[in-house]
A and B are shown apart, each in its own frame.
Chain A
Amino acid sequence: MLRLDAVTKTYRVGAFGGRTLTAVDGVSLDLVPGEVVSLIGESGSGKTTVGRMILGLTPVSGGSITLDGAPVRPGKDYYRQVQGVFQDPFSCYNPIFKVDRVLQMIREEYFPGTAGAQWEEKVAESLEAVRLAPALVLGKYPHQLSGGQLQRLLIARALLLGPRFLVADEITSMLDASTRIDVLNLLADLKSRGLGVLFVTHDLSLGNYVSERAVVLHRGRVVESGPTGLVFGNPLHPYTARLLDSVPRLTARWDGVPQEPVPDTPEPSVLVEAEPGHFVRRVPAPELRSVS
């Protein structure tokens, strides 16, 4: 299990680092194999930072991230188990090299002894899992492939390592609608193969489609979390409700009610279990059990 416990990220800003800016404020969440958790937030919510901290690309300022109870130490062993896919597939490839290089890097670092034929078989297997024909993508340069193909190839790259967890940060936001859904379906496939996926997104309809659990982040803090059906079907925090209300749908037009700004949850606030498994940030009431 990959567990985040009260993870915090602060940056020093201003002249001489005099002020601190809290990007992520006490975020706790669990990721278990065979489950997709969507981490939902708007720009500045800290959702990408959470993903980067899990991947060890950004150091943690406070709290802890543990894998099966042991503190995370980014390095080869860790990356064999926890992998990531990013938002911009075009920027993930070194433009001067062929796309095969992202796979080759894995081979050099993790499978130096593997024979050529065996490796090719392994690559073919991963490409198969992301439904890419090897002849279509291998030996090409990044600019010769579409965003969807590049993104699926990056997922195939991660699969070469047989990871247990995958952080997918806005992986569909640069893709067209007609290819986006295929990448989402792929995440669902991986989940059924036992992978735990953290699906970071700003798009609620995608989170709703693909995940079992949803965590809503607002200004670096979790404001609501729980099973996707409960969070989306019965939003308890005004911010979640507002987000859901703003999502354009094909089934209904927006009503004419003007939006009220969402007030900050008054302090001190904690995550409260409002119904089984469904947590919402509130000012604690004495009769409710606080968990954070």
Chain B
Amino acid sequence: MNREALHFAVRNGKLLVGLAVLLPLLALALLGPALAEGDPNAYVGTPAQAPSGEYWFGTTMFGQDVFAQFVYGLRVTFLVGLLGGGLAALIGMAVGFTAGYRGGLVDEVLNMLTNIVLVLPALAVLLVVNAYLGVRSVSVQALFIGLTSWPWAARAIRAQTFSLRSRDFVDLARLSGVRTWKIITREIAPNMSSYLFMTFILLFGGSVLIAASLDFIGLGPTQGVSLGLMLNNAARWSALHLGMWWWFIPPGAGITVIVGALYVMNVGLDEVFNPRLREL
């Protein structure tokens, strides 16, 4: 199965396009500090410069290097998305699979928990928690985002699991003496792998956006820079009206391109995993 999936994966245009967009951005984020040395928030040049050979993405209103900010911001954005989205996806999957497969009382208890977290005004809780605990690191921010944004994922996964559980192939696996967790991971989860990936993408995007909101109200990492913070700074200083497109387009495009590329990859993965779609 795996070798075959790979065979189709390397021939899948959508997947390759998605990767072709995503990997350079990831590389840029990882190698960023080498390319743009120094503090990305330092005032290095003439304010409000358009892109040039010296400052590839121009400078901000205050003379900060937009490219340096973009590169560092990209890194933070990936990190928040990965940690926050990943944690939320893990919790969502654990809760969703257990509730959907077990059913009965377990389902009811987990469902209640899910609904409680779901109706909590997540952003408000994050504000309070951040304000009290003084969160000042990216990973702690991601942790809080992850802990509050899983419920809808759990509900979606539970519903999918519920419908897959009643399929005969699950019964057949039970008749083959396969243990419950193995049925979940090897029979049910692969059937919704593209769905799970999609969930992760949405959680990833959600984390990025929540982080941007927190950054905006000054509850983000103190000394940080992120694409969200760049966007909000640009908005705050009316970059749009001033025609400083180089200030908001890179971070905006960065977020859009990352989430968009993930989405295209998701469609591609769907085709790789689903043999019916392969042939069309």
Contacts and interface: CB of A to CB of B under 8 A. Distances in A.
Say if the two chains contact directly (CB < 8 Å).
yes
B10 to A, nearest CB: 18
Contacts, number: 65
B168 A141 contact: no
Nearest to A140: B275
A230 interface: no
A125 B144 CA distance: 57
B175 A91 contact: no
Contacts of B167: 91
B168 A88 contact: yes
Interface in B224-280: 273-276
Contacts of A76: 177
Interface in A88-122: 88, 91-98, 101-102, 105-106, 109-110
A109 B176 contact: yes
B174 interface: yes
Interface string B142-179: 00000000000000000000000001110111111110
Contacts of A93: 169
B217 interface: no
A74 B190 CA distance: 26
Contacts of A95: 191, 274-276
B275 A94 contact: no
A109 to B, nearest CB: 4
A83 B190 contact: no
Interface string A137-179: 0000101000000000010010000000000000000000000
A15 interface: no
A198 B249 CA distance: 69
Interface residues of A, number: 31
Contacts of A96: 190-191, 273-275
Contacts of A97: 1, 190
A79 interface: yes
A109 B178 CA distance: 7
A91 B176 contact: no
B107 interface: no
Contacts of A141: 275-276
A256 interface: no
Contacts of A101: 1
Contact of B171 (A57, A105, A157): A57
Interface of B: 1, 167-169, 171-178, 187, 190-191, 273-276
Closest 5 CB pairs of A and B: A76-B177, A91-B168, A92-B168, A105-B176, A109-B177
11 contacts: A55-B175, A57-B174, A75-B177, A87-B168, A92-B171, A94-B187, A96-B273, A96-B275, A97-B1, A101-B1, A105-B173
